[in-house]
Structure 1
Amino acid sequence: MTINIEYETDKELKLDYENIINRVINEAVDYAKCPYEAEVNVTLTDNDEIKKINAEYRNINNPTDVLSFPMLNFALPGDFDGISDELENDVEDYFNPDSGELMLGDIVVSVEKVVEQAEKYGHSQERELAFLVAHSMMHLFGYDHMEPDEAAVMESKQREILDNLGITR
């Protein structure tokens, strides 16, 4: 498992963000029963930069807390069996040629939003960062929250991942 973490802001998180990110991603990959060695890229940035990315990719000219850029197109969320033929036929599109790992996608987190939302929701910055990474991992596995039933499934899975790690409100 390769987790690439880039810290691209002067805004400071006063916690062991690398450990939190690594723990959550590893737990999410195990939880999803990903049958491949995998790679995830995480960028920690500030509100100005995530606003630019949000505008470019989603046409929303506001900062957001987290953005997810999945590399896979699941027919059914989290169903690796359903995409195995596609992965095996187009290896060069989905696997890092240097490591052989499945490229799950990219996560971009606003450090400022981690701090703001932890305070707003009355929990630790550790919990907020862990939640945002778990949330984003679910997107990388094809889950969404546009419909109430989809949201309920996704929220349940996020909660289970965090509970498994002992990261609660």
Structure 2
Amino acid sequence: MTITFSDEQNQIEVTDKISAAIRAALEAAQAELGVPACLNLLFTDNEGIRELNREFRNIDRATDVLSFPAYELPALLTECFDEIEAEYVEGELFLGDIAISMERAQAQAAEYGHSLIREAAFLALHGTLHLMGYDHMTSGEEAVMTKKQEALLQSVNIGREMDGI
């Protein structure tokens, strides 16, 4: 998976370990897609994500992750490739954009008792699943999405064993 990383915050260092964990998690998600894919990932702070949330969702508060899908898709994206006019970038399906508040990620990692690496990978994967059509508006959708997130994180060894890194 091609991930275009942008870092527009300067409070929390996005280390090579964080980038590698994110890449591993998103490549696992791409394997489920069955096609080469790409996306843009922005690291920002609470104020930056608050501005995005206000501008695009009319919600004037910070959040941890925002996804901006390129398409309105049902889960299991591969079932509808023929029904959408997909955008490809150098042969890869463009999924959309994700923004992560690293400030919020760091606070949540501390709150949940695990590493910033795990939290950043979890948030990036969560955003990617949204780009792939998954959602959590109902308890059923949330159960499916949560199970998928945890399975993908575990498949690339980004789980509780990373705590303390």
TM over 0.5: yes
SS at match of 2:76: coil
Partners in 1 of 2:146 and 2:155 — Cα distance? 14
Alpha-carbon distance in structure 2 between the residues aligned to 1:38 and 1:168: 24
Shift of 1:13: 2.8
Q: State the identity as a percent.
A: 40
Residue 84 of structure 1: aligned partner: 81
Paired residue type of 1:159: E
Partner of 2:121: 130
Cα RMSD of the aligned pairs, angstroms, is: 1.4
Partner of residue 120, structure 1 = 111
Q: How does 1:18-167 map to 2 (within 5 A)?
A: 18-30=19-31, 32=32, 34-74=33-73, 76-81=74-79, 83-87=80-84, 90-91=85-86, 94-96=87-89, 99-167=90-158
SS at match of 2:94: strand
AA paired with 1:18? S
SS of 1:60's equivalent in the other structure is: coil
TM, length-normalised to structure 1: 0.88
The one-character-per-residue Cα deviations of 1:44-83 (angstroms, maximum 9, x if unpaired) are: 0111110000001111100100001111222x302312x2
Q: State the one-letter code of the partner of 2:81.
A: S
Q: How far did 1:118 drift?
A: 0.5
TM-score under structure 2 normalisation?
A: 0.90
Secondary structure of the residue aligned to 2:6 is strand
Contact kept, 8 Å, 2:67 with 2:97, in 1: the verdict is yes
Q: Which amino acid aligns with 1:42?
A: L
Partners in 2 of 1:133 and 1:79 — Cα distance? 18
Question: Which residue pairs with 2:163 in the alignment?
Answer: none
Question: 1: CA distance between counterparts of 2:36 and 2:81?
Answer: 14
- Mapped to 1, the partners of 2:108 and 2:15 lie a distance apart of 15
In structure 2, what residue type is equivalent to 1:80?
A: T
* Partner of residue 9, structure 1: 9
Aligned mates of 2:70, 2:135 — CA distance in 1: 15
1:86-125 deviation line (CA, Å, top 9, x unaligned): 34xx35xx212xx122101111000101110000111111
CA distance in structure 1 between the partners assigned to 2:55 and 2:111 by the alignment? 27
CA distance in 1, matches of 2:108, 2:13: 13
CA distance in 2, matches of 1:36, 1:159: 21
Please give the alpha-carbon distance, in whole angstroms, between the structure 2 residues aligned to 1:14 and 1:52.
21
Structure 2, unaligned runs of 5 or more: 161-165
SS of 2:62's partner is coil
